[in-house]
Amino acid sequence: MSQTEIVEDMASPPPPQIVPTSQLDIEPIEYASSMTSAYQQEELDDETDIDLAKPEFDGLWDKQPVKQDIDPLFNRSKHWKTKMDKDILQRTLTKLKENIVREQVVGTKRFEGPVPFKSDPSEIIFKDFDVNKVYRTRVTLTNVTLTINTLKLVDLSESLKDFITLNFEPPGMISAGMSCYLYVTFEPKINENLRGEIKFLAQTGMFTVPIRCEIKKVELSLNKTTVNIGTTVVDERLHQSITLRNNGGLGTNYRLVKTSLLRAEQNKTEVINNHKEEIKTDESKPSLDKETSTVSDATDIANKEYIEVFTIKTDERGFLEPHSSISFTIEFSAPVAGTFHEEYTLVFDQNVPELHFSVSAQSLDVPVWIENPSMDFKICMFDRLYQDALILHNRSSAALRVSVDIQPRILQNHVEIVPRTAYIQAKSSFNLQVKLTAHPSIIDDDLSNEIFDSQLNTLIIPLEVKVADQIRTVPFSISAILTTSDLQFDVDNIDFGCCTTSESVLAKIQLKNNSLLAQPFGFVNLPDYIQLQPNDGFGTLLPEETIDLHVLFSPTATKEYRCTLVCKSLVNREFTIECQGVGVLPPLSLSSTVIHFPATPINDQSIVSFYVENRHLDKNHFKHPVPRIGNGEFAPIGPTSFQFDVPANAPITISPLVGTVEPGRRQKITVRLAPKLDNEQIRTESVRIREAELKRQLESKEKESSNKGESRTRPPGTTASVSRKLDTHGTMNTEISLHPATEQSTVWSIAQLSVLKSFPSSLSSFLIPCYVVSGICQKPGTLNYDVANTLFIQIHCPIVRPEMIVISDYGQTTINFGSASIGQELTRTILIQNISNKSIQLHSTLLNIHGPFRLINALRSVEPGDTTPIKLAFTPNSIIEYLETLELTSESSKLTLCLRGVGLKPNVQLSFDTSNPFSMGCVLAKDRIEKTFQVRFY
C-alpha cells in the first residue's frame, strides 16, 4: 500500500483494460501456427493460377532466373516442401504445444518451489478506498527458479476487470534472481469489497497473485477484555487503564456504560413499547405511566443501594477518529472490604457490534491479612493432636503487634494457639501454630450448635486476630469433623469348649470400625495355639465397616487354656477379647481326619479306608501324653468302643459303625460313597412327563375332532354346543391331579433317565462324629459316651454326572437272558449313550472264560451324544442259575451291568415205546409208507 499512488487529475479515465503486448511478445507456438496457415494458403493459390494453354515445356531461351522464396522455418524453398516436411512441421508444432509447462532441472538439482516468481507484495491490497478515485501500485516479480525462465500474463479475475488495469511488459527470458514489474491501476466505481487474482504462466507452471480491495469501515478492538485492578486496603485508590483502538478508515461515536444499566434501559424501553402496542383507549394511559414510574423507581433504588467503587476518569461519550485510539482510566476505591466485579459495555453507532469488558478488584480492611482464613482439619479423631500453621501477612510499612483470644474459654481445653501474642515485621509474614486436640468431653461442654453440633459431630470455631491500635479485627475460623477411634467386637469373650489335640475349633467373631476414617489393625502377641484369619489377623477397616474374623483354637496338650487377644489400631489403641478352651486327648485316634473322595458318578461307588487306633497302653504322663479331658483324670487302660453317627441323607456308608479296639490294636474302617438319584426328583420328573404326554394326547384329540368336524356337514345351530363340550372337556382335563409314577414302572425309568441326563455336578461335605467311650459296647446305639471325647472326620464327596448310561430297556442295568437249554445261545444288545461333552473310549472287565456269558463285539470310542451297541451272548453249559457282572469303564466313569441267566436240560418223551424198535412194516420196492409219532418236551 506504500507504493500505491492516487491520481487525482484524471478527468475522464479510460476504461479498465489489459494493455496488449507487442508483436515481438507472440509466443513461438502462435507464430508457427500463423506461418503454417499462410504457407498452405499460398500453395493453394499457386495451384489455381496454372494456365493450361501454355506448353508443358518451355525453351531455355524463355526462362528467366527467378529468385526462390526461402522458408524461414526450414531454410528451403516452399515449393520443395514434401510430405515428410509437412509431417516434421506437424510434429514440431505438437511438441511445442506440449512443452509449454515443463519441469526445470539444472544439473542434478530439480526445482520444487511453490511458485516460480516471487511477488512483492505477496498480496495486492487497496484498503479504505474512495469511489471514483484512482489508485496505482507496483508489483515486483522476481525469478526464484534455478535458471532462465519466461513469464506471461494470462488473465485477471472477472470480478476485477471493470475496475483494475494491468500494465505488464513481458521480459522475455529472465535469469534467476532478476525481477520485472507489474503496474496495477485500481479505479473503484462501487463501494464494495472486491477479491480476485492475477494469473501468470511461467515455463515451470501457473501461479497467481491475489488482489484484495476493502472499503472504509470501522475496526474496533480492546487491548484486553478483563481488567484486574488488584488488591488494596479500604479507601485507598488504584488506577488501571484500557485502550480502545480503531484500525478502520471510518470513525464512530461511542458511549461507555455499565452492562447492568444498559440492560435496565433496554428492558425499560421494551416494556414501554409493549404497553404502547397494547393501549387501545385513553383510559389505559394512567396504567402506562404507573408502570413507567415503577420501573424508574426500581432503577433509582438499585442505584442508591449499589456502592460505587469504580470511576471512569475519561469522558464516557465521544467520537473516535479513524486510525486512532483512546484510553479509559478506571479508578478503584472501596469504602468496605470485599471483592468487586463490574461489567462494562461500549456502545457505538448502528451496524457496529458492542464491545464488553469486565473490571474486578479486591479491597482488604486492615494491613494484616491471613493467607488461610478458613482452616479445615477435615475428619479428626478424639484425643489425637492435629496442627497447622496460621500465616499472617503485614502489608504495611511498620511492624504490628497481633494477638489471638480463644472464646469461649472452655474451648481452650481443645484448641491451643502458639504464640498468643506476636509482632509482624513490615512487609513480612508470621506463622502461628494452631493445635487441635478434641477430647470426648467436648460433647458435655454445653457449646452452642453454631460451634459444635452433637448430632453431626461438626466443630466450627470462629476466632479473631486483633491488631494493635486498630478497632477492626481479622476473622478466621477452625473447622473439623470429630469422630471416635473405637474398634468394637460383637462378643466379649470366646469359649472354644473341648477340643482334641489333633483337631482345631473355629470361632467366628465380627470386628466393627465405629470411626469415619479407615483404620489399619492387627492382632499382636498371639499364642501358638491361636490363629486368626484372614491375613493372619491384619487388615484395614473402612469407615463404619464390619468384617468377619475366624479364630482357630488348636491345643497341643491336655490342659485348660486362657488367653487375651489384643487388637491394636494404627493410632496405638488396644482392644481385647478373652478366650478360653480345654485341650482333650481321646483314648482312640484316627489315622486320617479328612477324606477326599474322587469324583464319583451317579450309580457308581468309591471306597476309602482308614484306621481307628488304641495307643493307650500306660498312664505314665511323664513319657508321653496320656488320654484325659483337660486337667481331669486319666482314661482307664483297656478295650475302648467307638461309634460313628452318619447323617440319614448322606450317600456314604461306614463299616463298621460300632466297634471295640483293644489296647495296642487298630480297627480298619471302610467308607463307601455310592451316590444315587433323589427319589423326590424322579417323582417330580415323572409328573412332568405325564403332564406332557397328557397335553400331547389332548392336542391330538382336538386336532382329530376338528378334522372330523370339517369333513362332516353339521346342521345349523350345533356349533355352539360342540364348542361348549370341548371347553368343558378341556376344563375337566386341566383339573385332573396326576400322581407320581410308582417305582420300577416304565414312566419311573424314563423319568430316572431324564434326571440323570440333566444332573448337575455337586460337592458335599459331611462332618461325621465318632463317639468314644472306655469299655466294651454291649448294644449298638446305646453307647454311653462323653461329648468331650468325640472325634470328627471330614468327608468331601464330589458327585458328578456319569459319562455313559444305558438307554435300552428304559435304562435297566440288569440283563436277564431268561432260560436257555444247555448248548443253546441267546444274544442281547444293549445301547450305551455318551452324555458327556467329550469323546470316551470304552473298556470292559474280563468275563469268566469258562462261564456262559460272552462279549461279542469290540468296544470303540463314542462321540458326545452318540450311542454304541454292546452285544452279549449267553450259552449255558450246565443246569444252574448264572449271575455275573460286566464293568464298562471310561477315563473317569464306570458302568456296571448285571448279567443273569438259567441253564436247562430238556426232557423229551416219544409217543411210542422206546424199548422196542420203531417198525415201519413191510414195504414194496420203490414204494413208500408214512407213520407218525409225537415228540413231547417237558
A 10 A CB-CB count for 257 gives 16
Predicted pLDDT at 726: 37
Query: Domain 112-214 - what CATH class?
Result: mainly beta
Predicted pLDDT at 709: 64
Predicted pLDDT at 48: 44
At residue 888, does pLDDT exceed 70? yes
Q: What is the rounded CA–CA span in Å between residue 309 and residue 361?
A: 9
Give the residue-averaged pLDDT of 187-204.
Answer: 87
| Residue of 339, 338, 268 whose CA lies nearest to 302 | 268
At residue 188, does pLDDT exceed 60? yes
Q: Is 83 helix (H, G, I), strand (E, B) or coil?
A: helix
At residue 81, does pLDDT exceed 80? no
Q: Which CATH architecture has domain 804-908?
A: Sandwich (2.60)
Q: What is the rounded CA–CA span in Å between residue 334 and residue 337?
A: 7
Q: Which CATH architecture has domain 588-677+762-800?
A: Sandwich (2.60)
At residue 867, does pLDDT exceed 70? yes
Give the residue-averaged pLDDT of 210-229.
Answer: 87
| Residue of 128, 200, 158 whose CA lies nearest to 16 | 158
Q: How long a stretch of residues is the chain? A: 938
Predicted pLDDT at 32: 32
Q: Over the stretch 294-329, which tens digit does the pLDDT of each residue have? A: 334 434 433 444 568 888 888 888 888 888 888 888
Give the residue-averaged pLDDT of 508-533.
Answer: 93
Q: What is the rounded CA–CA span in Å between residue 651 and residue 885?
A: 23
Q: Over the stretch 352-372, which tens digit does the pLDDT of each residue have? A: 888 888 899 988 767 888 888
Q: Which helix (H) or strand (E) holds 902?
A: strand 894-904
Range of lowest pLDDT (40-44, 195-199, 495-499, 810-814): 40-44
At residue 34, does pLDDT exceed 60? no
Report CA 577 to chain centroid distance, whole Å.
45
Predicted pLDDT at 576: 93
Q: Over the stretch 245-258, which tens digit does the pLDDT of each residue have? A: 888 888 888 888 88
Q: What is the rounded CA–CA span in Å between residue 613 and residue 610?
A: 10
Contacts of 478 (CB under 8 A, 6+ apart): 375, 377, 415, 434, 436, 459, 460, 461, 463
Predicted pLDDT at 224: 87
| DSSP code for 190 | S
At residue 174, does pLDDT exceed 70? yes
C-alpha cell, 579: 478366650
Q: Over the stretch 478-495, which tens digit does the pLDDT of each residue have? A: 999 999 999 999 999 999
Contacts of 280 (CB under 8 A, 6+ apart): none
Give the residue-averaged pLDDT of 773-800.
Answer: 82
Predicted pLDDT at 575: 94
Range of lowest pLDDT (3-17, 121-135, 255-269, 646-660): 3-17
Give the residue-averaged pLDDT of 434-462.
Answer: 90
Q: Is the dihedral of CA 219, 224, 226, 231 positive or negative?
A: negative
What are the DSSP E strand ranges found in 484-616? 487-489, 493-500, 505-513, 519-524, 530-533, 538-541, 546-553, 560-569, 574-585, 588-590, 594-596, 600-601, 606-614
Q: Are strands 368-370 and 826-834 parallel, antiparallel or unpaired?
A: unpaired
Report CA 12 to chain centroid distance, whole Å.
78
Predicted pLDDT at 318: 86
Q: Over the stretch 586-627, which tens digit does the pLDDT of each residue have? A: 888 899 889 999 988 888 889 999 999 988 888 777 777 888
Give the residue-averaged pLDDT of 365-383.
Answer: 88
Asked if 325 contacts 244 with a C-beta cutoff of 8 angstroms, the reply is yes
Give the residue-averaged pLDDT of 841-862.
Answer: 89
C-alpha cell, 933: 409219532
Range of lowest pLDDT (84-98, 194-208, 334-348, 391-405): 84-98
Q: Over the stretch 704-742, which tens digit does the pLDDT of each residue have? A: 887 766 555 444 444 333 333 334 344 334 445 677 777
Predicted pLDDT at 822: 84
- Cis preceding-peptide flag for 760 (omega within 30 of 0): no
Q: Which CATH architecture has domain 368-483?
A: Sandwich (2.60)
Taking domain 217-263+309-365, whether its CATH number is 2.60.40.10 is answered by yes
Give the residue-averaged pLDDT of 523-546.
Answer: 93
At residue 160, does pLDDT exceed 60? yes
Angle (CA) 790-792-795 rounded to 5° is 160
Predicted pLDDT at 376: 92
For the chain, what percent of residues have pLDDT higher than 70?
A: 83
Q: Where in the chain is the domain with CATH 2.60.40.10?
A: 112-214, 217-263+309-365, 368-483, 487-585, 588-677+762-800, 804-908
At residue 409, does pLDDT exceed 80? yes
Average pLDDT, the chain: 80
At residue 25, does pLDDT exceed 50? no
Query: Domain 487-585 - what CATH class?
Result: mainly beta
